[in-house]
Amino acid sequence: MLIRRPPDISPSEITPRSAYLRRRDVLAGGLGLAALAMLPTKKAEAAPLAATKSPYSTDEPATRREDATTYNNFYEFGTDKGDPAANAHMLKTSPWSVKIDGLVAKPATYTLEDILKPVTLEERIYRLRCVEGWSMVIPWIGFPLADLLKRVEPLGAARYVAFETLVRPEEMPAQRGLFQPLPWPYLEGLRLDEAMHPLAILATGMYGETLPNQNGAPLRLVVPWKYGFKSIKSIVRISLVEKQPPTTWQSSQESEYGFYSNVNPEVDHPRWSQATERRIGEGSGLFAKRRPTLMFNGYGEHVAQLYSGMDLRANY
Ligand SMILES: Nc1nc2c(c(=O)[nH]1)N[C@H]1C(S)=C(S)[C@@H](COP(=O)(O)O)O[C@H]1N2
Ligand SMILES: [Mo]
């Protein structure tokens, strides 16, 4: 038998934590509780990912991993913050492929391994600001979205990038319920120059390990200067297009969520202010400390020039 060292093992062969936990259940059934008690109690998290440090990282302290993996928005698994952590183990993330099509010279359907082979993974510690008024600091592991887009060679007519999450009702409970919180598939989009910006990454990991399903495994977008909902999870399709593509939140509530969705403390959501935010882990309820929300979530020195001359009230 061929014994392979870790660098030869492809990401899809690494046992996800959910599969590990299911295996524990099987073991518990077969061996009885006494035997289970003797199994190592240390949780086998997904394998560590090697990543280089990035100058784009914030030096703010990271949110506790426990909070970032149990307080989530991933409506395919339910609308409560705890639903994704409770249900996302049902999602089968391997094998995984992403179709890249539209206005490109080299359309392709890449497996996750194809996508990761040529890239250098970096750790990017970014603030994530949800439109609901809370924020986190998450050490992502990923690579620039631009690296993947360049591989398929966008044509001159391409002006926008459309992203799609999978539709798999057997594995995503909110896609089969009577109450469907959103239309599926979940859709997002960026202007091509936003997508090519070095701050926009595709993440495959966080906290030094492969992404937990509830955070968007195996591949999710992270656009740190925009409200969290732009950072679409579990991506299966990326299309380069000429016209501004529809996005899920815009089509479900046009007056509340625009295409740009840049973090902007000066433009209120119609039902609440966007001037401040609560950092998850810094108290709750009446005692929650509120921080001022920063323009472009604090990334203005890098991205403000993308919007020079634009009215950011009209293009919210
Ligand atoms: N497919 C999909 N992607 C999604 C969402 C979703 O419901 N479905 N929620 C978005 C919202 S509103 C936020 S704030 C972030 C949350 O990311 P996190 O749970 O990793 O913190 O994911 C975004 N990506
Ligand atoms: Mo959000």
222 Cα: distance to centroid of ligand 1 (angstroms): 10
134 Cα: distance to centroid of ligand 2 (angstroms): 8
Task: Write the CATH number for 18.
Answer: 3.90.420.10
Question: Considering the chain, what percentage of its residues have pLDDT values greater than 70?
Answer: 85
Whole-angstrom distance, CA of residue 297 vs CA of residue 138 = 14
Mean pLDDT of the chain: 89
What strands, in cross-sheet order, belong to the sheet with 160-165?
108-111, 97-102, 235-241, 160-165, 187-191
114 Cα: distance to centroid of ligand 1 (angstroms): 25
pLDDT of residue 46: 65
Say yes or no to pLDDT of 188 above 50. Answer: yes
| Tokens at 234, concatenated | 């579990």
Say yes or no to pLDDT of 15 above 80. Answer: no
- Asked if residue 216 is part of any domain, the answer here is yes
- 276-300: per-residue pLDDT in tens? 999 999 987 777 889 999 999 999 9
- Asked if residue 313 is part of any domain, the answer here is no
pLDDT of residue 288: 81
Of 72, 73, 209, 280, the one to substitute when testing ligand 1's pocket (max ligand atoms within 8 A of C-beta) is: 73
Neighbours of ion ligand 2 (CB under 5 A): 73, 130, 228-229
Say yes or no to pLDDT of 97 above 50. Answer: yes
Whole-angstrom distance, CA of residue 58 vs CA of residue 302 = 13
pLDDT of residue 179: 87
* Cβ partners under 8 Å of residue 1, min gap 6: none
pLDDT of residue 189: 98
Side-chain half-sphere CA neighbours of 150 within 13 A:
10
Average pLDDT of span 188-210:
98
The count of structural domains within the chain is 1
- 36-91: per-residue pLDDT in tens? 444 444 444 567 888 888 999 999 999 999 999 999 999 999 999 999 999 999 99
* Cβ partners under 8 Å of residue 166, min gap 6: 172, 185, 234, 236
Say yes or no to pLDDT of 30 above 70. Answer: no
Say yes or no to pLDDT of 26 above 50. Answer: no
- Asked if residue 312 is part of any domain, the answer here is no
Protein residues with CB under 6 Å of any ligand 1 atom: 72-76, 128, 130, 165, 186, 215-216, 228-229, 231-234
The whole domain housing 69 covers 6-307
Of 231, 247, 280, the one to substitute when testing ligand 1's pocket (max ligand atoms within 8 A of C-beta) is: 231
220 Cα: distance to centroid of ligand 1 (angstroms): 9
110 Cα: distance to centroid of ligand 2 (angstroms): 28
| Strands of the chain, DSSP E | 52-53, 97-102, 108-111, 122-129, 134-144, 160-165, 187-191, 201-206, 209-210, 220-222, 235-241, 276-279, 290-292
Lowest mean pLDDT among 15-19, 166-170, 219-223, 234-238: 15-19
pTM score over 0.85: yes
Provide the 10 A C-beta neighbour count for residue 185: 18
pLDDT of residue 316: 95
- Asked if residue 1 is part of any domain, the answer here is no
Say yes or no to pLDDT of 100 above 90. Answer: yes
Say yes or no to pLDDT of 159 above 60. Answer: yes
- Asked if residue 95 is part of any domain, the answer here is yes
- Asked if residue 116 is part of any domain, the answer here is yes
Whole-angstrom distance, CA of residue 153 vs CA of residue 103 = 9
